[in-house]
Structure 1
């Protein structure tokens, strides 16, 4: 039996489970809010063209409008000024997207402190227990934030000082970009950076470091609690938007339950 035939048999037989990490995309999907005078991303909008009526008697279809970075989405290197000469989303090699995943669960820390920041020492402690981060793989950072995704207010968790959501420290962001063997970072929050990252030095260190190193981001993931710390394979599928800085994506994880 070939490798692909064995894989297909494991899928149909249930040994390999497909876990959907994608948030449903609708007008209620939370979006990031930037301070004035910066431009804002669009919420998802669906425009009905016909629904088995005189506009189209046998078919139902829609137009839609949304931002590249709305809902569960992929960040390409050219999304940030540090990666302005890097790949757009259409140029990302598809074979780089499908890769093993390491799942770091710090949901207990984020529950106690919504401004919790992942540090290099936290990653090192995880590696001491589970082994090294996968070469060419994804680091998925679980904070439990997907439980808030039904509410824009709870998801952004903002007050007069700004948003309060967990993220990654500047030192850890640089380390992930420059030294860690992973190709990208996946998070449950609205962006790869912490809510307070506008005040960090440098500002938005995940975007600056990862995009500047040609690495990728995945945001607004769900169901990371269903994944093991190691062993899952991530399958992100962004749209190949020419010149696009990112794209809404369907993100699946394959988990061996055998």
Structure 2
């Protein structure tokens, strides 16, 4: 039996589970809020065209209004000035959208400190226990932040000093982007960087280093708790927007059931 036939058999039998890592996309989906004088994205919205009425008696459809970086979305290199000569989202090779993923769980640390940042030593300690980061794969950084996603105020977690959400230190972001074989980083927060990353050097280092290195970001992921530490295969499917800096994406993980149950 071919490999694909075996996969279909496993999916039908349930021995391979499809885990949806995508946040539902609606008008209430939290979006990044930049301070003045910077411009902000529009939120997602549906605009009805017809709904089984005189505008279209047998069909229902909508226009959609959204920014590229709303909800669960894919960051392409051209999104950041350091990657301005890199790929737009339509130019990302399809084979790079199917890749292995590992999960680094810092949810306990983020629960204790919403400004927690991942350091190189944290990743190296993880590797000692779980093996090397995957060549051409994703590092998924679990913080438990997806539990806040239904409440925009709790999700953005901003006060008079700015937003507070976990992320990655500048030193660690550079090391991950430039010295490890991963294809990109995936997070549960509104962006790949910490809430306080505007004050880091450089500002927003995950964006600066990963996209500058021709790598990618996935944000506002959910259900990372349902993935094994390693062994998942991820399908990240952004829209191929010509000239686009990113796109809302459906992100799915294929997981062997016995791996999930361990």
The alignment's TM-score, normalised by the length of structure 1, stands at 0.99
> 2:72 corresponds to which residue?
72
- In structure 1, what is the equivalent of residue 208 of structure 2? 208
- Corresponding position of 1:83: 83
Aligned twin of 2:47: 47
How far 1:257 moved relative to its partner?
Answer: 1.0
Aligned positions of 1:244-255 closer than 5 A: 244-255=244-255
Q: 2:175 and 2:232 mapped to 1: Cα distance?
A: 23
CA distance in 1, matches of 2:120, 2:180: 10
Alpha-carbon deviation of 1:159?
0.5
**Residue in structure 2 matched with residue 230 of structure 1 by the alignment:** 230
What is the TM-score of this pair, normalised by structure 2?
0.98
How far residue 118 of structure 1 moved from its aligned partner, in angstroms, is 0.5
Aligned to 2:230, the other structure's residue is in SS state coil
- In structure 2, distance between residues paired with 1:181 and 1:86: 18
Quote the offset at 1:151 in angstroms.
1.2
Q: How many residues align?
A: 258
Please give the root-mean-square deviation of Cα atoms over the aligned residues, in Å. 0.5
Q: Distance in 2 between matches of 1:235 and 1:176?
A: 21
Structure 1 residue 139: Cα displacement: 0.2
What stretches of structure 1 move > 4 A for 4+ residues in a row?
none
SS in 2 for 1:102: strand
1:55-70 to 2 correspondence within 5 Å? 55-70=55-70
Q: Secondary structure of 2:63's match?
A: strand
SS of the counterpart of 1:236? Answer: strand
In the other structure, the counterpart of 1:102 is 102
> 2: CA distance between counterparts of 1:160 and 1:84?
33
Secondary structure (helix, strand or coil) at the match of 2:12 reads: helix
C-alpha distance in 1 between matches for 2:152 and 2:130: 35
Residue correspondence of structure 1 range 123-142 to structure 2 within 5 A: 123-142=123-142
Q: Which runs of 5+ in 2 are unaligned?
A: none
